[in-house]
Amino acid sequence: MLAFDVDDSRLTAIADEFAASPKQIDMAFGRALNRTAGTLRKLSVAGLKTELGLRTTTALRNRIKQYKYSGRRGRGVRVWIGSNDLPLSAFKGRPQKTATGVKFGDVEIHGAFLATRGGKRGVYQRVSNASFPIASVSLPVSDRIMTFIEDNVFVDLESIFFKNFAADIKARTIYGVGK
pLDDT tens for residues 109-150? 999 999 998 898 999 999 998 988 999 999 999 999 999 999
The reply to whether 45 and 128 lie within a common domain is no
| Pair 15, 169: CB distance under 8 Å | yes
The reply to whether 93 and 114 lie within a common domain is yes
Question: How many CB atoms sit inside 10 A of residue 29's CB?
Answer: 20
| Pair 14, 172: CB distance under 8 Å | no
Q: Determine the average pLDDT of the residues in 52-66.
A: 92
The reply to whether 164 and 131 lie within a common domain is no
Binned at pLDDT 50, 70 and 90, residue 77 comes out as confident
- What pTM does this model have? 0.85
Compute the half-sphere exposure of residue 28: CA atoms within 13 Å on the CB side of its CA: 28
* Packed helices 157-175 and 22-52: angle between N→C axes, nearest 10 degrees: 140
Does 22 have pLDDT greater than 80? yes
Q: Could you tell me which of 26, 30, 6, 35 has the C-alpha nearest to residue 160?
A: 35
Domain count, the chain: 2
pLDDT tens for residues 91-105? 999 999 999 999 998
pLDDT at 41: 93
- Would you say residue 2 lies in a domain? no
Does 4 have pLDDT greater than 80? no
Give the residue numbers spanning the domain of 157.
8-84+140-175
The reply to whether 16 and 61 lie within a common domain is yes
